[in-house]
Amino acid sequence: MPHTLLISHPMLGPMQAGLEAQGYRVLRRWEMGEGDAAAVEAIVHAGEIVLAPEFLQSLPRLKLIANVSVGYDGVDVPWCRARGIEVTHADGLNAEDVADHALGLLIGAWRNIVAGDQMVRAGRWNNADRMGPRPGLKGRKVGIMGLGHIGAAVARRAEAFGMVVSWWGPNPKPDAAWPRAQSLLALAEGSDILVVACRADAANRQAVNAQVIEAVGPRGMIVNVARGSIVDEDALIAALKDGRLGRAALDVFAQEPTPAERWEGVPGTVLTPHSAGGTVDSLPSMIGQTFENLRRHFAGEALLSPVSA
Amino acid sequence: MPHTLLISHPMLGPMQAGLEAQGYRVLRRWEMGEGDAAAVEAIVHAGEIVLAPEFLQSLPRLKLIANVSVGYDGVDVPWCRARGIEVTHADGLNAEDVADHALGLLIGAWRNIVAGDQMVRAGRWNNADRMGPRPGLKGRKVGIMGLGHIGAAVARRAEAFGMVVSWWGPNPKPDAAWPRAQSLLALAEGSDILVVACRADAANRQAVNAQVIEAVGPRGMIVNVARGSIVDEDALIAALKDGRLGRAALDVFAQEPTPAERWEGVPGTVLTPHSAGGTVDSLPSMIGQTFENLRRHFAGEALLSPVSA
């Protein structure tokens, strides 16, 4: 009897053939038929999508949620653990890619690269009226929220541009190469650019609130490559409209896909469709790790990358 | 009697008040009246704009062309020298800013940041059909044409992203930290990304020709933060349309402003309005150096940053 997996979202659909080639029976959540729920032994999942406990309770044989992604904020891990459901994720595999994208957002927004492209294509470039000059990057203070794999990779890149790095996270890191601020608010107050690079959890939900946003200030910028849930997006939009925040470069949003109309008339923004983490280099590694976690689970071996929290 | 200066282009208009505050009489080329030509002793200039010898010959008292810019490709330096006209420029003052912009273009084009922004704003983002994943930056080969101040600053940044750097220029540099290719064509053949960062001169006019462009290839990208004259722009556009070149990220163009319609339907491009070099950090330095060159010239002292070629 083959083991039965459930792919939780259409964006993971391309994995189906590979999973079937490994001998699994693969169901699709968006096409479930009668009796399917009773068969599901593991879910192949993208961690940013919410898996409601009510749905999980309808799967009596479920024993594993294997996240292809690094993040797993859509999964209630303590709830799963209490019911004997294990959770795995990709462990740091795309940190370099996410950090690359974070710098692309940072420079693209700070140095008017996206706005410049719009200007050239609209025929609004004329030599007598260039865009106003922007501050350079050298010497700018970048504050990183979360100094994990991604945050540290952002820090190393920022230093190559002559930026001055500090960070904040809930836990001190005695070996960190950069100073830790006293608090998230202190980090924001001391930064020209705040980069959100931490794992999302219940403790940091909307932690980047109106007060933190205003501390970054009218000449400052917020970059988010973590999760939309960490930022109070309504407060962010209001601050950008009022000029209390200078710029925002976002790869993640409160709701994804974010509605285009939500950003109409919001100045100083660069927006990408949650594309920081997936490259042709990182995706095969992440998928390979998912396959190995599935294999180990069904073989009764220790999982390769269980969620550690 | 105050010395008489000529501002050569409206984009330098904002400098007029500062020059007058130094005691100069300031004329504007686009508003010259009868008798003005005979008074001009020095031109304050943006080096990418062509100063035709016919025009210079109409200025009998001209003894100095002070470029606010680093580049001076619009000035025929040997012609000037032969007539006793000295030429100064900004010496490397904005290399860090240009390199920052080059990396912003590179990441913005390679990782679909500009295209992603367009997708989100057009409401074309849906989770089942994200943009296809792109190759990451780590391990990609970046070839730099011209290892001067700017090229070296690009190389240092590229290494922080795990890219593998090589370069080519007409003169060997025994102290360079990166290997020099045998030729520009060999550099292009060995690179995923070719960054044009050299000074423009008669010898490298359209040096990035159809053959070099095709050597970069369908999966490759060209970034130009130097001068449009160095690239055969018609060949570049044809190669992008045919898929013989993957992408191009350009801050400089054959004609500036480049006509918007020239880029309609040309895939894989990011275009910025020659904004790499001017930041609120670099511009005051460049303007200050221009002022000092003017002061020294009229005081009979050695110039601070004469053109060395």
- pLDDT one-digit tens code per residue, B181-207: 999 999 999 999 999 999 998 899 999
pLDDT attached to residue A8: 96
Q: CA nearest B268: which of B130, B151, B108, B138?
A: B108
Per residue of chain A (309 residues), give pLDDT as tens.
899 999 999 989 999 999 999 999 999 999 999 999 999 999 999 998 999 999 999 999 999 999 999 889 999 999 999 999 999 999 878 999 999 999 999 999 999 999 999 999 999 997 555 567 899 999 999 999 999 999 999 999 999 999 999 999 999 999 999 999 999 999 999 999 999 999 998 899 999 999 999 999 999 999 999 999 999 999 999 999 999 999 999 999 999 999 999 999 999 999 999 999 888 888 888 999 999 999 999 999 999 999 975
Residues 241-300 (B) with a CB less than 8 A from some CB of A: 256-261, 263, 270-275, 278-283
DSSP state of B10: G
Do the Cβ atoms of A136 and B259 come within 8 Å?
Answer: no
Test the A interface: residue of B68, B127, B262, B270 with most A CBs within 10 Å? B127
Convert the pLDDT of each residue in B70-88 to its tens digit: 889 999 999 999 999 999 9
pTM: 0.88
Do the Cβ atoms of A107 and B108 come within 8 Å?
Answer: yes
Q: What is the average per-residue pLDDT within B41-53?
A: 95
pLDDT attached to residue A147: 97
CA atoms of A298 and A253, how far apart (whole Å): 35
Do the Cβ atoms of A108 and B104 come within 8 Å?
Answer: yes
Contact A39, A27 (CB under 8 A): yes
Do the Cβ atoms of A120 and B10 come within 8 Å?
Answer: no
Convert the pLDDT of each residue in B209-236 to its tens digit: 999 999 999 999 999 999 999 999 999 9
pLDDT attached to residue B4: 97
pLDDT attached to residue A193: 98
Collapsing DSSP to helix, strand or coil, A206 comes out as coil
Q: Which of B199, B227, B247, B297 is catalytic?
A: B227
Contact B205, B230 (CB under 8 A): yes
A137 touching chain B per CB within 8 A: yes
Chain A residues in contact with B114 by the CB 8 A cut-off are 108, 113-114, 117
ipTM over 0.90: no
What does the DSSP assignment read for chain B? Answer: ---EEEE-SGGGGGGHHHHHHTT-EEEEGGG--TTSGGG--EEEE-TTS---HHHHHT-TT--EEEESSS--TTS-HHHHHHTT-EEE---STTHHHHHHHHHHHHHHHHTTHHHHHHHHHTT---GGGPPPPB--STT-EEEEE--SHHHHHHHHHHHHTTPEEEEE-SS--TT-SSPBPSSHHHHHHT-SEEEE-SPP-GGGTT-B-HHHHHHH-TT-EEEE-S-GGGB-HHHHHHHHHHTSS-EEEES--SSSSPPGGGGTT--SEEE--S-SS-BTTHHHHHHHHHHHHHHHHHHTPPPSSB---
Mean pLDDT taken over chain B: 95
Q: In this complex, which of B123, B136, B278 lies closest to A281 when CB atoms are compared? A: B136
Do the Cβ atoms of B278 and A126 come within 8 Å?
Answer: no
Chain A residues in contact with B159 by the CB 8 A cut-off are 160
